[in-house]
Amino acid sequence: MGSVDCSIDGGIATVTFTNPPKGFLTSAMVAQASDIMARLEDDEAVRVIVFTGGLPDVFIRHFSVEEIIEMTKALKARRARGQADPRFARTPLRMLWENIDNSRKPTIAAINGYCGGGGCELALACDIRLAGPGDYTIGQMEILVGILPGAGGTTRLARLVGTGKALEWVLRGRTFHPQEAAAEGLVHHYVEGDVLAAAHDMAREFLDKPAAALAAIKQVLRSSWGKSTADGVDEEGDLFANLIASDARALEMMEDYVAGGHQLKKF
């Protein structure tokens, strides 16, 4: 069973996602992380939040495709009974990313390994992304299992790198090695050495800066976008739910991926 752990040291909270052997994110872990975020947001002694992975070479590989398959079957069954779809945009996963995105405190993703799908969505919800060395990839690769990002990957990626790049990357399922990700602007910095130590070094820069000013800077920059993140992610969540409930090919591709040992081609 996966776990989400939190440690606090000198005003810096470190949230670590661990789910051996492959590092997938699960609904149970989302619930744990949501509780942690609520506590950290209310703790005035916590000034900065850092997210990282607890397995070697894994940040968060992606959300559990096995769980999405079960979700797909449940949605199909609801439709067969004539029941309306649930409001997919308000899932616990989407709301966790919203809470990270809207945190009053600076947030840093210390990417130490594979960071795809939901893992990339978490990184995109953070204010700052650092990527450490390794033979791993970062990106929104959902199309490779027949689906699309379902909790903010399209909207946040487009706002980060522009619609043109985001379209190409998401349509192709393109992923990037850490140095490539820095060159493309997907992460802010490539770090040689210990990326978590680098994230903590950066986090310490915020400790002597006024919390209210940091929160105000975040608010004004986040609200400067034309369309609200909520509106964009609402649409994305609805499209995701409709796709997995109606497209047989999506279910087939996800099941093939799981049966094949979770292997994806890098583009």
Q: Over the stretch 117-155, which tens digit does the pLDDT of each residue have? A: 999 999 999 999 999 999 999 999 999 988 889 888 999
Per-residue pLDDT band for 65 (boundaries 50, 70, 90) equals confident
Q: Is residue 266 part of a domain?
A: no
Residue 235 within a domain? yes
Q: Which residues form the domain of 238?
A: 3-259
Please tell me the total count of domains within the chain. Answer: 1
**Which pLDDT tens digit goes with each residue over 178-202?**
999 999 999 999 999 999 999 999 9
Q: Where are the alpha helices (DSSP H) in 151-210?
A: 153-161, 163-172, 178-184, 195-204
What's the pLDDT at 61?
93
Residue 114 above 70 pLDDT? Answer: yes
pLDDT of residue 227: 66
Whether the ω angle into residue 21 lies within 30 degrees of 0, i.e. cis, is: yes
Confidence (pTM): 0.86
On whether residue 265 sits in a domain, the answer given is no
Per-residue pLDDT at 224 exceeds 70:
no
Determine the Cα–Cα distance for residues 84 and 19; give it in Å rounded to an integer: 33
Contact assessment for residue 25 and residue 118, using Cβ atoms and an 8 Å cutoff: yes
Residue 127 lies in a domain: yes
- Asked whether residue 43 is domain-assigned, the answer is yes
Tens digits of residue pLDDT in 237-251: 887 887 788 888 788
Please report whether residue 132 resides in a domain.
yes
Where does the pLDDT of residue 1 fall: very low under 50, low under 70, confident under 90, or very high at 90 and above? confident
**What per-residue confidence (pLDDT) applies to 88?**
57
In a domain, 104, yes or no: yes
- Determine the pLDDT at residue 86: 66
CATH number of residue 78's parent domain: 3.90.226.10
In a domain, 267, yes or no: no
The answer to whether 62 and 175 have CB atoms below 8 angstroms apart is: no
Q: Which of 58-72, 164-178, 238-252 has the lowest mean pLDDT?
A: 238-252
Neighbour tally for 126: CB within 10 Å: 23
Per-residue exposure over 189-206, b if at least 16 CB sit within 10 Å of its own CB, e if not: bbbeeebbebbbebbeeb
